[in-house]
Every structure is written in structure tokens, then in C-alpha cells.
């Protein structure tokens, strides 16, 4: 009887130790180290994407004047020339209504339409859209927009890890670039490029200047130097006085 009870106590103690070992083992998990999620090359961390976006300008119209001023007319004409070159959809002209300058804005919208047409935008590609601002008493503007293919990168200013030695920056001792490094350069390059297609493929080669090529070949045939002589270059030389 005694041996049976002691054997049961030993079994219970063994099971208890096994349960405690399992519980303690479950409390420890090895940290997951992700090395392939953040590329080392900033051009891969912050790629330049070519996509369709909106190009827009605003025209400020006062309540006591209709039509456009000289600088505004130039802005609208330049906007129309830009649409001819890069537009991928129609031009939308948002005109405010129920505002103190609603009548002047309507008059400006008519002149905007004529200016766009003179810049090469067909009437069928211009759409007037009336909108009511959230606060009708505030100054409302006439907005012009059209879709175009543009390049963009970012957003910048993301700091997922500390820059210095920290538990939140395991790559500090490995001398790796911080995440936001190169983002501003990529974003500025995307904003400066004139044709986003240049980021993907080269432009076709322009035709040769036939007249100049014929002149050079004729000089080569005669055995004359093909270099161009610029008489004005001698005028830029320093004076020989004092030698």
C-alpha cells in the first residue's frame, strides 16, 4: 500500500516537472530576423514609378472683375500647350457657384475656354464642372486639371529604425544605409524629368544634318581638314603685351 502511494507521488512529480519544462520552453521564441525585406540599394527601396496623375493650376478671380488678367491668360495658354504635349484625357474646368465671385468666375471660365481653344485644345476635350465650396463665403478659385503620365517616388520621411546604436536598429554595426537614404534624390529626379518615358527607354535617334554631313564629306574627299574654323575664337585670347 505504501509502495503504491509513493510510486503515484513520484509519477505525479514527474508529470509536474514535464509540464513546467514545456511551459518554460514555450516562453522563449527566437527573434525573427528579416534580411531580404529592405533592399540595400536606395533605387530599390524608393523606386520611381511611372503612372497617370493630374496636372492642375488655379485661377484666382476677384468678385468685382470678370475675365482674365494678362499673367492669368499666359498661365492658361501655357496650360493648354502642356495638354497638347502630354495630356492623356480631357481638361476639366471647375467653376465655383453660390459664392461672392460666382459671376466673375463664370465670365473667367468663358475666357478660359476660348484661351484653351486658341492653344490647341479642342472644344470637345473641355468640360465645365460647377462646384460649391464648403464655405461659400470664402474666396473660391477656378481650377483647371487634366491627366498625364508622370513619374513619382516616395513617400519620404519614413524612419522605421533608429539611426544610432539601438535595439531597434540591428543593422547599425553592419554599416547599412538607413531606410530614408536616397528618397529625396529619387523624388527630385522624378519631379525634374520632362518625359517619364526617358526613365524606361531611350528616345529614337534624330535624323542627321544632311547639309553639314555633305560639306564634311566633300572636304574629306578633297583632302582638306574637316574641322570647323571659328575666326572669332582669336578675339578671346589674352593680350601678348608685356611678353
Q: CATH number for the domain including 127?
A: 3.30.1330.60
Give the span between the Cα atoms of 222 and 21, in whole angstroms: 99
> What is the full DSSP assignment across 8-29?
HHHHHHHHHHHHHHHHHHHT--
**pLDDT tens digits, 2-45:** 556 666 666 666 666 666 655 555 544 444 444 446 788 888 99
- Residue pLDDT, tens place only, 74-83: 999 999 999 9
Q: Tell me the pLDDT tens digit for each residue of 172-212.
A: 667 778 889 999 999 999 999 988 988 888 888 888 888 88
Structural domain total, the chain:
1
Q: What is the pLDDT of residue 29?
A: 47
Domain that holds residue 145: 40-201
Phi, psi of 43 (to 5 degrees): -70, -20
d(CA 145, CA 76): 11
Cβ proximity of 142 and 95 under 8 Å: yes
Examine residue 32 and state whether it is found in any structural domain, yes or no: no
Q: Is residue 12 part of a domain?
A: no
Tally Cβ neighbours within 10 Å of residue 174.
9
146 DSSP 8-state letter: E
On whether residue 162 sits in a domain, the answer given is yes
Residue 11 lies in a domain: no
Q: Is there a domain that residue 212 lies in?
A: no
CA quadruple 66, 72, 78, 82: dihedral sign: negative
Cα torsion angle, 142, 146, 150, 152, sign:
positive
Give domain status of residue 190, yes or no. yes
User: What is the chain's mean pLDDT, rounded?
Assistant: 83
Looking at the domain assignment, is residue 9 inside a domain? Answer: no
Mean pLDDT of 212-228: 87
Asked whether residue 237 is domain-assigned, the answer is no
Amino acid at each position: 500500500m505504501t509502495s503504491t502511494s509513493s510510486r503515484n507521488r513520484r509519477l505525479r512529480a514527474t508529470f509536474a516537472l514535464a509540464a513546467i519544462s514545456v511551459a518554460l520552453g514555450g516562453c522563449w521564441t527566437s527573434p525573427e530576423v528579416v534580411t531580404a525585406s529592405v533592399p540595400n540599394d536606395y533605387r530599390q527601396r524608393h523606386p520611381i514609378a511611372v503612372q497617370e496623375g493630374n496636372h492642375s493650376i488655379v485661377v484666382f478671380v476677384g468678385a468685382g472683375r470678370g475675365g482674365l488678367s494678362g499673367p492669368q491668360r499666359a498661365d492658361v495658354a501655357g496650360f493648354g500647350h502642356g495638354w497638347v504635349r502630354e495630356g492623356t484625357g480631357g481638361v476639366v474646368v471647375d467653376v465655383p457657384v453660390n459664392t461672392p465671385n460666382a459671376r466673375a468666375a463664370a465670365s473667367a471660365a468663358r475666357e478660359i475656354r476660348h484661351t484653351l481653344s486658341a492653344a490647341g485644345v479642342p472644344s470637345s476635350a473641355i468640360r465645365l464642372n460647377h462646384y460649391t465650396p464648403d464655405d461659400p463665403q470664402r474666396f473660391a478659385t477656378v481650377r483647371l486639371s487634366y491627366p498625364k503620365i508622370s513619374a513619382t517616388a516616395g513617400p519620404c520621411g519614413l524612419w522605421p529604425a533608429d539611426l544610432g546604436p539601438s535595439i531597434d536598429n540591428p543593422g547599425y554595426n553592419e554599416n547599412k544605409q538607413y531606410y530614408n537614404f536616397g528618397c529625396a534624390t529619387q523624388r527630385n529626379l522624378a519631379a525634374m524629368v520632362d518625359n517619364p518615358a526617358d526613365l524606361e527607354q531611350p528616345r529614337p535617334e534624330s535624323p542627321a544634318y544632311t547639309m553639314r554631313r555633305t560639306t564634311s564629306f566633300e572636304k574629306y574627299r578633297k583632302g582638306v581638314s574637316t574641322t570647323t574654323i571659328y575666326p572669332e575664337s582669336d578675339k578671346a585670347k589674352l593680350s601678348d603685351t608685356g611678353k
